[in-house]
A and B are shown apart, each in its own frame.
Chain A
Amino acid sequence: MSVQRSTVIFAWILLLPAVLYVTVIVAYPLVDTFILSFTDASLKKTTNWVGWTNYDKIFNETFAEVIFRTFIWTFFSVSIKMIIGVFGATMLNAAVPGRALFRLLTMPPWIVPMAIGIFMWGWMYNGQFGMISGVLQNIGLSNGPIAFLAHGSTAFWATIVTDVWIGVPLVTLYMLAAMQAIPQDLYEAAWTDGAGRFYRFRRITLPLLVPSLITMSMLSLIATFNSFDIIWILTQGGPNGETTTMIIDTYRTAIGSKKYGEGAARAVLICIFLSIFCFAYFRVTSRLSQGEHK
């Protein structure tokens, strides 16, 4: 046996456990979801093949609205995360005393168990006793208590703010790392030529951050699109379904109502959207790196 071949075999032996694990726990269930989505699987003993019925049902119901809402929710959440993240990274990148401590203080929302951070927000949004409503009343911006989670429009934004809060630390630290990787001599050269701080930020920092911004938006997009814990803990998709995103609806249908087949069809739709995002991401990044080589 040649050295080359034994190396390849060894590499596969090393990979085998991880590959097997992911195949059984992720790949097989993925295929199973597709198959289930064409059946009427439920708690009943028998399962029948029903063709496209589940998909027809999805589009006949109010699901189009749910899809639309999911996109709006995701769009605002990701955009706000990126804006606050870049803002935070810029501030933390400034060479001022105390910055090591400030960096440390950005981490908690992301390190503590998500559910616990969400409980705290649940209290903050409380109309009678919560901080936000209380402060708004004290400074005279509101006449009475606002129960943020009891009304559709405020609950929608409240869940977005909580999602932003959980996502911001990662975006900030990631963008900070990207900023620190920009060669210092670029700034020094611009500075010698008399460029001001703001000009340097706009003409050096921002353009060089674009690849990292795209990567982070993508990661953030996938996480936000799949976001379950926040909405489930705060509103369970209510009131009147106004915070029901695709994931929440899938969970309700499949786990709540035990309609596995219909739930699977929703899950397949989510997978399709996620794949489209990924495809778009690879197109954009490959175009970007081609541009660099020209």
Chain B
Amino acid sequence: MSQPALINRYRWYELVGIYAGIFVFLCFILAPFVEGFLVSLKPLGLLFSSPYRFWPENGSFAAYYTMWESVPGFARYIFNSFFISTIVTAIVLVLVIPAAYAFARFNFRGAGVLLGAFLAVNMFSGAVLLIPLFRLMRTFGVLNTYLAMIVPGVAFLIPSAIWLLRTYMMRIPRELDEAAFVDGASHFYTLRRVILPIAMPGITVVAITTFIGAYAQQFIYALTFNSKSEYMPLPVGLFAYFGRQEVVWNELMAASFVGIAPAVVVIFLLQRYLVSGLTAGAVKQ
């Protein structure tokens, strides 16, 4: 093993301090997951016993079996979550790839203002536009369908996707476009045959971050624009369960863990892309 540079050598008490700091920090981040997981293992009777015990006695995975019957639509909710996120991601990519290319390559009048306007959309995500959006969805006749959740979801994921992809495309050398142009390729041909293949890694990152955003944020529109349980995504489906008089906590936690498993798998597989994608633009060049 190579020795770390002298500047990075720590004294023993510095090392202790750093690990202690990391430990406290990660405790805060991970405590709800640890507690949630332990709760999912505890039998319901023991769950409501005082005094509080951290470790489950007679822990079992029983809740992971019974939840499928207690939350009848559970498999359907997970499917809905995936389905909605997939369609949202596809639409965002179709809209954003050409727009990001235009912002990255062409100097036209109003480009700066338009980009600023796109980014301003981020300001209004949330409940601010709920009333007119509700009326709009009613006018389109899509209330209580998948579209009622997909359409607003797309709009609020466009800005960051444009920003990310534009940053990536600006790094592709301009000479490539010019060479294609000199060879007589049309603009459209250049985009499709020259730029798209090179930009693939960037597009992948944008697709992943958009998908995660769509998967993580399905709440307010799904809660307001859809009341049919067969179209509910996981968070709203579980929310109905959470709001009952007697919450069956161990099953709720078990269901939550099954619901977040896909996201956790994605983190582990794609973490390298994620960190670079999500923090791009953190530092001005």
Interface residues of A (CB under 8 A from B): 6-8, 10-15, 17-19, 21-22, 24-26, 28-30, 32-33, 36, 84, 87-88, 90-92, 94-96, 102-117, 119-124, 128-131, 133-135, 137-138, 145, 165, 168-170, 173-174, 176-178, 181, 187-188, 191, 197, 211-212, 215, 222, 226-229, 232-233, 247, 250-251, 254-255, 260, 263-264, 267, 270-271, 274-275, 278
* Nearest opposing residue in chain A for B33, CB measure: A108
Q: Is B179 an interface residue (CB 8 A)?
A: no
User: Chain A contact residues: over half helix, strand or loop, or mixed?
Assistant: helix
Q: Is B154 an interface residue (CB 8 A)?
A: yes
A178–B136 touching, CB < 8 Å: no
Query: Which B residues are in CB contact (< 8 Å) with A112?
Result: 216, 260, 263-264
User: Chain B contact residues: over half helix, strand or loop, or mixed?
Assistant: helix
Query: Which B residues are in CB contact (< 8 Å) with A181?
Result: 282-283
B52–A138 touching, CB < 8 Å: yes
Q: Is B106 an interface residue (CB 8 A)?
A: yes
Query: Which A residues are in CB contact (< 8 Å) with B283?
Result: 177-178, 181, 212
Residues from 188 to 222 in B contacting A, C-beta threshold 8 Å: 188, 191, 212, 215-220
* Size category of the binding interface on chain B: 35 or more
Q: Is B256 an interface residue (CB 8 A)?
A: yes
The minimal Cβ–Cβ distance linking B62 to chain A, given in whole angstroms, is: 18
Query: Which B residues are in CB contact (< 8 Å) with A191?
Result: 7
Contact status of A113 and B218, CB under 8 A, knowing A94-B18, A173-B278: yes
A96–B155 touching, CB < 8 Å: no
Q: Is B12 an interface residue (CB 8 A)?
A: no
Q: Is B235 an interface residue (CB 8 A)?
A: yes
Residues from 231 to 254 in B contacting A, C-beta threshold 8 Å: 234-236, 238-239, 242, 249, 252-253
Q: Binary interface profile of B, 124-136, with partner A (CB < 8 Å = 1, else 0)?
A: 1111111111111
A120–B256 touching, CB < 8 Å: yes
Q: Is B259 an interface residue (CB 8 A)?
A: yes
Cα A120 to Cα B274 with chains together (Å): 25
Return the contact of A25 from the options B4, B98, B133 (Cβ within 8 A): B133
* Nearest opposing residue in chain B for A33, CB measure: B132
A226–B52 touching, CB < 8 Å: no
Q: Binary interface profile of B, 23-66, with partner A (CB < 8 Å = 1, else 0)?
A: 00110111111011001000000011011111000000000000
A-B contact sample (5 more), CB < 8 A, given A29-B133, A113-B219, A119-B242: A18-B158, A22-B117, A111-B263, A165-B32, A270-B128
Cα A116 to Cα B256 with chains together (Å): 6
Q: Is B187 an interface residue (CB 8 A)?
A: yes
Q: Binary interface profile of B, 249-285, with partner A (CB < 8 Å = 1, else 0)?
A: 1001100100110011011100100110011001110
Return the contact of A108 from the options B29, B120, B220 (Cβ within 8 A): B29
Can you list 25 residue pairs at the A/B interface with Cβ under 8 Å?
Answer: A8-B106, A18-B96, A19-B114, A22-B117, A28-B132, A29-B133, A30-B124, A94-B10, A102-B26, A108-B260, A111-B266, A113-B215, A116-B256, A120-B253, A124-B32, A129-B52, A129-B249, A131-B35, A138-B52, A178-B283, A228-B220, A233-B239, A254-B131, A267-B127, A271-B128
B267–A135 touching, CB < 8 Å: no
Cα A187 to Cα B171 with chains together (Å): 28
Cα A114 to Cα B124 with chains together (Å): 18
Return the contact of B4 from the options A95, A105, A247 (Cβ within 8 A): A95
Q: List the 10 shortest-distance A-B pairs measured between CB atoms, nearest first.
A: A134-B52, A115-B235, A226-B126, A29-B132, A32-B132, A14-B98, A11-B106, A120-B32, A177-B279, A25-B155
The minimal Cβ–Cβ distance linking A102 to chain B, given in whole angstroms, is: 5
Query: Which A residues are in CB contact (< 8 Å) with B155?
Result: 21-22, 25-26
A91–B36 touching, CB < 8 Å: no
Q: Is B102 an interface residue (CB 8 A)?
A: yes
Cα A43 to Cα B217 with chains together (Å): 28
Query: Which B residues are in CB contact (< 8 Å) with A228?
Result: 126-127, 219-220
Query: Which B residues are in CB contact (< 8 Å) with A90?
Result: 21
Cα A22 to Cα B191 with chains together (Å): 23
Q: Is B8 an interface residue (CB 8 A)?
A: yes
Cα A84 to Cα B219 with chains together (Å): 26
B99–A119 touching, CB < 8 Å: no
Query: Which B residues are in CB contact (< 8 Å) with A28?
Result: 132, 136
Query: Which B residues are in CB contact (< 8 Å) with A116?
Result: 234-235, 238, 256, 259-260
Query: Which A residues are in CB contact (< 8 Å) with B152?
Result: 25
B128–A15 touching, CB < 8 Å: no
The minimal Cβ–Cβ distance linking B35 to chain A, given in whole angstroms, is: 5
A113–B108 touching, CB < 8 Å: no
Return the contact of B253 from the options A123, A145, A173 (Cβ within 8 A): A123
Contact status of A91 and B263, CB under 8 A, knowing A134-B52, A250-B128: no
The minimal Cβ–Cβ distance linking B32 to chain A, given in whole angstroms, is: 4
Query: Which A residues are in CB contact (< 8 Å) with B105?
Result: 11
Cα A88 to Cα B217 with chains together (Å): 24
B135–A32 touching, CB < 8 Å: yes
Cα A273 to Cα B258 with chains together (Å): 39
B263–A113 touching, CB < 8 Å: yes
Cα A120 to Cα B4 with chains together (Å): 40
Query: Which A residues are in CB contact (< 8 Å) with B51?
Result: 134, 137-138
Contact status of A168 and B29, CB under 8 A, knowing A18-B99, A94-B18, A255-B130: yes
B8–A95 touching, CB < 8 Å: yes
